[in-house]
Amino acid sequence: MRRQSSPKRTKFIFVTGGVVSSLGKGLCAASLGALLENRGLNVGLQKLDPYLNVDPGTMSPTQHGEVFVTDDGCETDLDLGHYERFVSHRMSRHSNYTSGQIYSAVLEKERKGDYLGQTVQVIPHVTNEIKQAILTAAEGTDVLICEIGGTVGDIESLPFLEAVRQLRFELGSDNAIFVHLTLLPYLPTAGEIKTKPTQHSVMKMREIGIQPDILVCRADHPIESDIREKIALFTNVALAHVIPMLDAATIYDVPLSLHESRLDDAVCELLNIWSREPQLHEWRRIVDVIKNPANQVKIGVVGKYVDLHESYKSLSEALVHGGIANNAGVQIVFLDAEQISTRGPSLLAELDGILVPGGFGKRGSAGKIEAIRWAREHEIPFFGICLGMQLAVIEYARNVAGIEDAQSTEFEDNPAHPVIALMDEQEKVTHKGGTMRLGAYGCELIQNTLARRIYGEPHVSERHRHRWEFNNAYREPLREAGLVLSGMSPDAKLVEMIELPASNHPYFIACQFHPEFKSRPTAPHPLFTAFVGAALEHAKLRGS
């Protein structure tokens, strides 16, 4: 049997999940990636999602969580944010494929005649397309960790599981392994952990031709040796490869706990990888700061998706990173913007900083504007992101510049003063998916501004995801009213950052892009570091 060739003999780790969804496959994959990278390996990660949407760009954040954006402008699953926070490898459009993308590619080839009159079927055409997507993502890496979304048994994920089953057969067991994540529930009435769901999950995997090499077992109670022995016996997995993954106080503790359970040793043994021991002193420092901060600060996030915190996953983690840089614990208070509209801004009185994040639609905009006004008038550190910047412009135009009817064309057709509006190319858009300003764009920072001092350099690149922009017709009126335009696109056609002068406010800044997408615990984003630092100063003043 001829084996499938792979780039520079890349090793493959396929991560699957069973029993229930939301077990933490992405976090497990990211943590394993961190361990292998700290062993000196070049690690890539990939997520294969079974849903039929082409990408999550048009999906509600309350259903699917946040949409993560790569440098090359791909809207992806939020797990890619985990990947980028845990490894240095930057994700791309090859790092996330959905069933929608795979089937679209297959159907396009059929329409072009690429299959030469064949009957197009799931096997081999769809599975071949999936395998090619995996091999493309593996190029240039020593190890590719490929996470299969969903739960074993889902009808949607079967083509992906069949594709990786074939790849394992073609590549050989020394080049590809399966890591299966399962749940070990604890029943209080019985007073014990139950292994039967894990047994059935592995049984389901074996029915489709996949024998897991490693089991990672999620649990909220310690897994004793007799439980691990029972699991090993009934699943045909070596005892040393039954790995506990207990609930942790912080997600950044997971690589350390998995290393203690020897997950990375098991992977290297199975894949015949010779490497050094992982260098984990930086991870230990990060966890120590999170668990034992010298200071505490309370940050309010005013949004409309606050019922599901996963909607702001990268944002929450970036605030934690800003806390790490300041040796501070960050208490994040999610506030419903509509509640501020009905109950008033008094909800904000105990905060040390106010952040208004990105979003879409008019709902909640009035409450966000009230929050921005409160931050400006009460000199509370403020940070606006994407829509947060646009609303800060509207608030300033109405309440400082005297443009009382200032509005965004996103919220109202033909307003009297559209200080936020669509650019010409966006006016022509007819399809919502993948048509926003997406991905990395340059930004020039103006001298003698807060933005320039925070970044410490004149040119930066940040990721965008939006349609509406600062209306250039209102640049001069707002400048004359005191608004500082501190960041511009390289061609000076687009306003990327605004702020208030230090003489008017101790810390008030906003940006059109999404800096949270580039923040890592090992390299906190400067805007979040500065914002948390300003909030700490405010907390000290408030305490005194």
User: Cα separation of 46 and 65, whole Å?
Assistant: 18
Query: pLDDT tens per residue, the chain (544 residues)?
Result: 344 544 458 999 999 999 888 888 999 999 999 999 999 999 999 999 999 988 877 777 666 678 899 999 989 888 899 999 999 999 999 999 999 999 999 999 999 999 988 999 999 999 999 999 999 999 999 999 999 999 998 999 999 999 999 999 999 999 999 999 999 999 998 889 999 999 999 999 999 999 999 999 999 999 999 999 999 999 999 999 999 999 999 999 999 999 999 999 999 999 999 888 888 999 999 999 999 999 999 999 998 776 667 788 999 999 999 999 999 999 999 998 888 877 877 779 889 999 999 887 778 789 999 999 999 999 999 999 999 999 999 999 999 999 989 999 988 888 999 999 987 665 555 555 556 788 999 999 999 999 999 999 999 999 999 888 999 999 999 999 999 999 999 999 999 999 999 999 999 999 999 999 999 999 999 999 999 999 999 988 877 4
**Backbone φ, ψ for residue 531 (5° rounding):** -65, -45
User: Cα separation of 216 and 241, whole Å?
Assistant: 8
Structure confidence at residue 170 (pLDDT)? 95
Q: Is 8 labeled as ligand-binding?
A: no
Q: Is 370 labeled as ligand-binding?
A: no
Q: Report in angstroms the alpha-carbon separations of 163 from 139, 145, 155, 172, 526.
A: 18, 15, 14, 14, 42
Structure confidence at residue 342 (pLDDT)? 79
Structure confidence at residue 359 (pLDDT)? 81
Q: For the domain 294-422+468-486+494-543, what is the CATH superfamily, name and number?
A: Class I glutamine amidotransferase (GATase) domain (3.40.50.880)
Residue 57 per-residue DSSP state: G
Q: Is 196 labeled as ligand-binding?
A: yes
Structure confidence at residue 432 (pLDDT)? 54
Question: By CB neighbour count within 10 A (0-12 exposed, 13-18 middle, 19+ buried), where does 67 fall?
Answer: buried
Q: Is 387 labeled as ligand-binding?
A: yes
Q: Is 57 labeled as ligand-binding?
A: no
Question: By CB neighbour count within 10 A (0-12 exposed, 13-18 middle, 19+ buried), where does 276 fall?
Answer: exposed
Q: Which of 75, 129, 395, 516 is catalytic?
A: 516
From the list 467, 468, 447, the residue with the least C-alpha distance to 458 is 447
CA dihedral sign, ordered 321, 455, 496, 396: positive
Q: Is 76 labeled as ligand-binding?
A: no
Q: Is 21 labeled as ligand-binding?
A: yes
From the list 219, 221, 216, 222, the residue with the least C-alpha distance to 201 is 216
Q: Which residues contact 437 (CB under 8 A, 6 or more apart)?
A: 426, 464, 465, 466, 467
Q: Estimate the crossing angle of helix 281-291 against helix 313-325, to 10 degrees.
A: 90
Q: Is 359 labeled as ligand-binding?
A: yes
Task: Report the 10 Å Cβ neighbour count for 523.
Answer: 13
Q: Is 171 labeled as ligand-binding?
A: no
Structure confidence at residue 346 (pLDDT)? 78
Q: Is 398 labeled as ligand-binding?
A: no
Q: Which of 386, 417, 496, 538 is catalytic?
A: 386
Q: Using an 8 Å Cβ cutoff, are 250 and 290 in contact? A: yes
User: Cα separation of 92 and 138, whole Å?
Assistant: 12
Structure confidence at residue 1 (pLDDT)? 38
Which amino acid type is present at position 432?
K
Give exposure, 385-408, as e/b (b: 16+ Cβ within 10 Å): bbbbbbbbbbbbbbbbbebeebbb
Q: Is 79 labeled as ligand-binding?
A: yes
Task: Tell me if residue 516 is catalytic.
Answer: yes
| SS3 per-residue string spanning 459-497 | EEEEEEEECEEECHHHHHHHHHCCCEEEEECCCCCCEEE
3-state helix, strand, coil in the chain (%, to 5): 45, 20, 35
Structure confidence at residue 527 (pLDDT)? 98
Structure confidence at residue 140 (pLDDT)? 92
Q: Which of 180, 514, 525, 538 is catalytic?
A: 514
Q: Is 195 labeled as ligand-binding?
A: yes
Q: Do domains 7-284 and 294-422+468-486+494-543 have the same CATH topology?
A: yes
- Give the right CATH number for 7-284 from 3.40.50.300, 3.90.110.10, 1.10.260.40, 3.90.1150.10: 3.40.50.300
Q: What angle do CA 373, 379, 381 make, to 5 degrees?
A: 90
User: Cα separation of 411 and 396, whole Å?
Assistant: 17
Domain regions of the chain by residue span: 7-284, 294-422+468-486+494-543
Tell me the β-bridge partners of 302: 335
From the list 363, 374, 481, the residue with the least C-alpha distance to 419 is 481
